[in-house]
Amino acid sequence: MRTIPTSITKRSAILAIGLVLVSGLFLYTRPVAAETTSTDAQGQIALLQKLIKTLQERLAVLLNGSAAENKSGHDHALHVGHTVGTTDTLKVRGNPSVSGDLLAVLKPNTRGSVVDGPKSADGYVWWKIAYPSVTGWSAANWLKADEHAEEPGTVAADDGPDNDTPKHEHKDEDTGDAPPGTVWIGENASQNARTLPNSKTVATSAPFIELFTGNTGKVNFRFGVFHAGVGFQELGYPARIWGDGNAQNGHGGHWTADHDMNCGTPATQRPLSSSASDFNIDEIFFLCKDHIMSSMGDVDGYSIAWFSPKNSFSRATHKTVSWDVNVTDLFGRQWWEVAIVPKGGHVVATIEWNSRGDLLPYDNASVIIGNGPFGGGVNMITKGENHYEDWRPICDGDFALDPVGCKDKMIRRPFSVIDNGNGTLTVNYAGLYTQTIPGKFPEEFDIYFTDHNYTPDKDGKPVGHTWHWDSIRVE
């Protein structure tokens, strides 16, 4: 026996109700009996007219849905709470309108949950969908109720590159409270599945300059978070999770970051958290007072928060990488590194002697400038070796390179590394120390600004969990 689609039966029912109401309206508009007062009849007519107006509004939504259904070939009898899948590349907007802010562009077969709608605008019926990495409004033409859509994935709002990483185990009923869209990495999966970023960068020969003026500029970067033994996620892509049961339950942490939600002074604080069930990437990186912050607290182990320009660069056209960052003494278990790595190289990485398990050493072709591991030091690393010649750390009593900057989070020092084209690099370290070291940029390279944290609260509560970045240039 053929089942009649729910959408058809609902439309038929509403149309039938409409006919009854219209018939009733005609009955009430005929001459009334003598015992019925004119006021009563007018009241009843007004009530029916109100009902018919409501009916017309509901029919308009249904008819628009029918037009969308006829255009796309799918039944759009959706409701809040339904699971849906995208049938084609589909835009997600901040408002139910073709002029709404474009939040993302999703790949086909991305799953999500309906949280609001329908809304009718610009010739489309719109539903608000909670996808794994974004929540916003999508046109019904390219949505279908689907409990078995394929593994979800997103691409950047500019129709960025496809994800070409290996296929892995899918989320199953034993995944605890991990977020929707999580990709589970099997024990035998390649190491690259654990270490490579999801997206790709786009090559450019133009200078890259971001000053974060007016608290803007995040759109020009990729962002990610890694928790050792648990997994990592790049903003806009499904999380990749591995490890034992602690990867799903009980892993995570809470801390505070400089600048409250109103962007007060650095001394004011905002609450942050991160865990396997919510990496919370977008809030870990935030803008205040015309610069960008990265902040990671104690999350039960080694954690890295990183951001990177969406562009890759060429040694032939880009000779200098420069940035500003504070050198505040956040105690020994928090540090930052700027990694200039071969295009497509590891981001979930550290210097060789600090690597472990799912945290690989940087490629020997990488150039690493930083103030760690274990804070306060000076690293100028090429070919896996630290070439820093002076013995003084940044922050260490009477011999500190920068005792003033070590105490003031509002001071951001200038750093730069220049490829001299002759097998040497010149590093300007915070405007305090300059050294020429052996090395060169990779021929094609990506740049990662990384915030490293190795149980930062283990030796006592540090003076903060925030690095302040500004004036990023690749020229």
Task: Say how far apart CA 281 and CA 223 lie, in whole Å.
Answer: 7
- Of the listed ranges 155-169, 290-304, 327-341, the least confidently predicted one is 155-169
Q: Which residues on adjacent β-strands are paired with residue 7?
A: none
- Say if residues 108 and 146 touch (Cβ distance below 8 Å): no
Give the HSE-up count for residue 405: Cα atoms under 13 Å, Cβ half-sphere.
Answer: 21
Structure tokens at 437: 């070291």
Structure tokens at 63: 């008819």
Task: Say how far apart CA 386 and CA 336 lie, in whole Å.
Answer: 15
pLDDT at 244: 67
Q: Any idea of the CA torsion for 64, 66, 72, 73, to the nearest 10 degrees? A: 170
pLDDT at 204: 96
Q: Is the dihedral of CA 334, 215, 155, 366 positive or negative?
A: negative
SS (H, E, C) the chain: CCCCCHHHHHHHHHHHHHHHHHHHHHHHHCCCCCCCCHHHHHHHHHHHHHHHHHHHHHHHHHHHHHHHHHHHCCCCCCCCCCEEEECCCEEEECCCCCCCCEEEEECCCCEEEEEEEEEEECCEEEEEEECCCCEEEEEHHHEEECCCCCCCCEECCCCCCCCCCCCCEECCCCCCCCCCCCEECCCCCCCHHHHCCCCCCEECCCCEEECCCCCCCHHHEEEEEEECCCEEEECCCCCEECCCHHHCCCCEEEEEEECCCCCCCCCCEEEEEEECCECCHHHHEEEECCEEEEECCCCCCEEEEEEEECEEEECCCCCEEEEEECCCCCCCCEEEEEEEEECCCCCCEECHHHCECCEEECCCCCEEEECCCCCCCCEEEECCEECCCCCCCCCCHHHCCCCCHHHCCCCCEEEEEEECCCCEEEEEECCCEEEEEECCCCCEEEEEEEEEEECCCCCCCCCCCEEEEEEEEEC
Angle at 54 between CA 27 and CA 144, to 5 degrees: 130
Question: What band does 228 get if pLDDT is binned at 50, 70 and 90?
Answer: confident
Question: What band does 121 get if pLDDT is binned at 50, 70 and 90?
Answer: confident
Structure tokens at 319: 């000779």
Instruction: Examine the pLDDT at 245 and tell me if it is beyond 60.
Output: yes
Q: Please give the single-letter amino acid code of residue 92.
A: V
Residue among 118, 241, 224 at smallest CA distance from 175: 241
Q: What is the mean pLDDT of residues 431-452?
A: 95
Instruction: Examine the pLDDT at 468 and tell me if it is beyond 80.
Output: yes
Task: Say how far apart CA 139 and CA 143 lie, in whole Å.
Answer: 7
Task: Say how far apart CA 33 and CA 415 lie, in whole Å.
Answer: 92
Tens digit of each residue's pLDDT (9 = 90 or more) over 50-106: 556 555 555 544 444 443 333 333 444 688 878 888 888 788 888 898 878 778 878
Q: Is the dihedral of CA 348, 352, 354, 355 positive or negative?
A: positive
Task: Say how far apart CA 318 and CA 444 lie, in whole Å.
Answer: 10
- Say if residues 86 and 136 touch (Cβ distance below 8 Å): no
Residue with tokens 């439309």: 11
pLDDT at 54: 53
pLDDT at 237: 86
Task: Say how far apart CA 134 and CA 130 lie, in whole Å.
Answer: 6
447: left (phi over 0), alpha (psi -120 to 50) or beta: beta
pTM of the model: 0.65
Tens digit of each residue's pLDDT (9 = 90 or more) over 396-406: 777 888 888 88
Q: At what angle do helices 38-72 and 6-29 cross, to 10 degrees?
A: 160
pLDDT at 99: 77
Cβ contacts of residue 191 below 8 Å, gap of 6+? 360
Question: What band does 186 get if pLDDT is binned at 50, 70 and 90?
Answer: confident
Q: Is the dihedral of CA 58, 62, 63, 67 positive or negative?
A: positive
Q: What is the mean pLDDT of residues 225-235?
A: 90
Task: Say how far apart CA 247 and CA 264 lie, in whole Å.
Answer: 35
Question: What band does 149 get if pLDDT is binned at 50, 70 and 90?
Answer: very low
Tens digit of each residue's pLDDT (9 = 90 or more) over 336-368: 999 999 998 777 788 777 777 778 888 899 999
pLDDT at 165: 31
Task: Say how far apart CA 340 and CA 462 lie, in whole Å.
Answer: 28
Instruction: Examine the pLDDT at 7 and tell me if it is beyond 50.
Output: no
- Say if residues 407 and 372 touch (Cβ distance below 8 Å): no
Instruction: Examine the pLDDT at 28 and tell me if it is beyond 50.
Output: no
Residue 462 CB: number of other CB atoms within 10 A?
A: 21
